[in-house]
């Protein structure tokens, strides 16, 4: 049985691996490592919500690609996610502020049943949390925060906020974009501030969303409608700070009118509720994923613009590669927590994460720009891409996460 903070003898505990942060990426990684004679602790600041009214939709959702879905299946969390509710999207329509460029992706054109699923974050989080609770070799230490990290000759010693100290062979920082462990290790980050905020909300779609993800590039940033249930979309509207504040302040009916206007009524009528939130947008990348007995994954290592819905998909891929690297080294008798092994993980992931991050920065600045030459380039680009089957197939495979070297844990169903 997992230990709660109350019944765990923290001061005497020693773990092979300590995962700091039980968010989507940290929890998936712990599940991927479980069952391999490793003693794992997951330290989480705030335990997740496990129950909520069935009709309530989380403001935070993620577009989950096929590679991530395979990972969630392989670690045993997918069935519970499906029970709570998932929404496939089969098509994607992207268009430009000037209405000249338009691109349409259809899963049927590449023989796939869908392009991915839109899933509420808390559904993924709850399923992963319950899956961690099934593993006798994972101890959940929560609520707890790491406040200090001291390398010792044969271990890493970590202090928790209640004064208890724990030791581990390797700590994995999955504690998000403001990673405390990364900062304590003195790892610098390259940062790009988009000077944008993402306003999120859920809108009813009485005329239907046609299982399509819609995205329009507006002068201040992209607006996406992601189908999250049979009759609702989650919106992510990236814009300037001042417009984001204005959008948060609007009455529901005025917010709805604005959405219908800027989406050119493509989804028909919309129904808006007053719940809205905003998140500052920046992209960042840790200059190293490694320090002494410490390795970074997920948003602790990299954060990207949400315009293509890839952030947690990259994090899941980190988790799959890191778990595969550690377990392979362990089974070959190599020191799995040593730098040479962890460097393999970093080499495998850094390029993909950097390329995705830079592409999102380029897309955002190309499309959120009204200069006439740039408008011409992007309209030409969108039309050329739309008429090229090869280009569309390439983009779709990238988005599905199946277009490149796919780590074994992200491949279709492994044995049992």
Ligand X SMILES: Cc1cc2nc3c(=O)[nH]c(=O)nc-3n(C[C@H](O)[C@H](O)[C@H](O)COP(=O)(O)OP(=O)(O)OC[C@H]3O[C@@H](n4cnc5c(N)ncnc54)[C@H](O)[C@@H]3O)c2cc1C
Indicate which single residue of 20, 132, 360, 396 sits in contact with ligand X (rule: CB under 6 A): 20
Minimum CB–partner distance for residue 176 and ligand X (Å): 3
> Is 18 one of the binding residues for ligand X (CB under 6 A)?
no
d(CA 145, CA 167): 14
Angle between helical axes of 311-331 and 339-367 (0-180°, round to 10): 170
CA–CA distance from 47 to each of 6, 312, 403 (Å)?
Answer: 14, 19, 35
Instruction: Please say which residue, 19 or 329, places its beta carbon nearer to ligand X.
Output: 19
User: For ligand X, which residue of 107, 212, 313, 364 counts as binding (CB under 6 A)?
Assistant: 313
Question: What is the closest distance, in whole angstroms, from the C-beta atom of residue 96 to ligand X in the complex?
Answer: 21
Nearer to ligand X, 141 or 342 (CB): 141
Separation of alpha carbons 64 and 403, rounded Å: 15
Contact flag: residue 319 with ligand X (CB under 6 A): no
Name every residue whose Cβ is closer than 8 Å to that of residue 97 and which is 6 or more positions away in sequence: 216, 217, 218, 219, 370
Main-chain dihedrals φ then ψ at residue 291, nearest 5 degrees: -145, -175
Candidates 37-45, 346-354, 355-363, 386-394 — which segment interacts with ligand X by CB under 6 A?
37-45
By CB under 6 A, residue 227 contacts ligand X: no
Q: Which is nearer to ligand X, 227 or 315 (CB)?
A: 315
Per CB under 6 A, the segment of 39-47, 97-105, 208-216, 402-410 that binds ligand X is 39-47
Taking residue 379's Cβ as centre, other Cβ atoms within 10 Å add up to: 17
In sequence order, the 6+-apart residues with CB closer than 8 A to the CB of 137 are: 34, 35, 37, 38, 39, 40
**Residue 226, beta-bridge partner list:** 234
Q: How far is the CB of 388 from ligand X (least distance, A)?
A: 26
Q: Give min distance, CB of 313 to ligand X, in A.
A: 4
Please say which residue, 65 or 263, places its beta carbon nearer to ligand X: 65
- Binding positions for ligand X, rule: CB under 6 A: 20-26, 43-46, 62-63, 145-146, 174-176, 180, 198, 200, 236, 279, 298-299, 306, 309-313, 315
């Amino acid at each position: 049985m997992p230990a709660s903070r109350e019944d765990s003898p923290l001061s005497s505990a020693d773990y092979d691996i300590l995962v700091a942060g039980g968010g989507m990426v940290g929890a998936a990684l712990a599940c991927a490592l479980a069952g391999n004679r490793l003693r794992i602790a997951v330290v989480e600041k705030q335990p997740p919500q496990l129950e909520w009214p069935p009709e309530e939709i989380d403001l935070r959702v993620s577009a989950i690609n096929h590679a991530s879905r395979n990972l969630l299946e392989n670690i045993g969390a997918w069935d519970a996610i499906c029970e709570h509710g998932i929404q496939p999207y089969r098509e994607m329509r992207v268009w430009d502020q000037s209405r000249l460029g338009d691109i349409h992706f259809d899963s049927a054109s590449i023989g796939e049943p869908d392009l991915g699923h839109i899933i509420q974050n808390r559904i993924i989080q709850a399923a992963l949390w319950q899956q961690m609770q099934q593993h006798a070799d994972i101890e959940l230490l929560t609520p707890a925060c790491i406040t200090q990290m001291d390398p010792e000759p044969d271990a890493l010693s970590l202090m928790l906020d209640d004064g208890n100290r724990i030791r581990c062979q390797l700590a994995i920082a999955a504690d998000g974009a403001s990673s405390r462990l990364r900062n304590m290790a003195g790892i610098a980050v390259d940062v790009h501030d988009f000077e944008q905020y993402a306003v999120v909300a859920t809108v009813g779609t009485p005329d239907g969303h046609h299982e399509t993800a819609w995205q329009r590039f507006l002068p201040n940033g992209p607006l996406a409608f992601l189908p999250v249930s049979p009759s609702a979309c989650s919106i992510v509207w990236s814009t300037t700070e001042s417009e984001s504040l204005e959008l948060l302040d609007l009455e529901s009916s005025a917010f709805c009118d604005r959405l219908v206007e800027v989406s050119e009524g493509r989804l028909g009528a919309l129904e808006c509720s007053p719940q809205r939130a905003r998140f500052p947008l920046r992209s960042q990348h840790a200059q190293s994923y490694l320090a002494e007995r410490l390795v970074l994954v997920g948003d602790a290592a990299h954060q990207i613009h949400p315009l293509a819905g890839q952030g947690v998909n990259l994090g899941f891929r980190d988790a799959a590669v890191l778990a595969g690297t550690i377990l392979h080294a362990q089974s070959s008798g190599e020191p799995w927590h040593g730098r040479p092994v962890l460097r393999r993980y970093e080499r495998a992931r850094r390029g993909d994460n950097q390329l995705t991050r830079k592409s999102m920065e380029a897309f955002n600045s190309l499309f959120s720009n009204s200069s006439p030459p740039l408008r011409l380039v992007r309209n030409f680009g969108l039309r050329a891409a739309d008429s090229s089957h090869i280009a569309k197939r390439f983009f779709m495979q990238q988005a599905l996460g199946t277009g490149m070297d796919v780590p074994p844990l992200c491949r279709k169903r492994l044995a049992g």
